Amino acid sequence: MFVELSQNLVLMTAGAFLLGWLLSSISSSLGSRHKAKKRDPRDDRIRSLEADTRVARTDADKAQANFDKLEEELAEARGGIERRDNVITEQQSKLDRVSRDLKESVIKTRELRAELANRATENVHAEAKIREVETELSVAQASHDMLATGVLDYETAEADEQSEDKLQRESREAAT
């Protein structure tokens, strides 16, 4: 079908199409210049405000992201502070327990030292009494030996009983 049409007709159709496109382009460009001159200043203001709004939204989104990040850091810091406070409280309670134990140990040590001093004093007194008794016993033994050899000649039976009773009483007192 295309082959049947004349070549002039095809060229005229193409030329008309091209001419129409060219005229519409020129008309459009002239019309846009005319519209640009007629443009309302409020439209420019609206476009400017829209651009400012987009910038502000971008800034707000960045600020919100920063805020969220800082909020997370704050939550972590609070958690760390809480853990640290718990550790400090635990350490303080341990310190209090150790302090009480130390005070009790000091009191017990003082009591034991006092008791030890009392026993040492009693021990010294007992040793002194034992020395006295040993001295008296050695004197009595020497007297008894002298009587047995005949150096001393007087009633020894009564004296021996009295000295033995005395020595026994003294040794009991020394033991207590």
**Range from 122-126, 133-137, 144-148, 165-169 that averages highest in pLDDT:** 122-126
Cα distance between residue 114 and residue 107, in whole Å: 11
What is the per-residue pLDDT across 8-47, written as a single tens digit (0 to 9) for each? 888 888 899 999 999 898 888 877 766 656 667 788 899 9
Could you state, in order of their start, the residue ranges of all structural domains in the chain?
52-175
- The answer to whether 133 and 174 have CB atoms below 8 angstroms apart is yes
Two structure tokens written together for 104: 């009790």
Using CA atoms, how far apart are residues 76 and 129, in angstroms rounded to an integer? 78
CA distance 93 to 99: 10
- pTM > 0.85: no
- 40's tokens: 């309302």
Q: Number of H helices and number of E strands within the chain?
A: 3, 0
- Where is pLDDT greater, at 40 or 70? 70
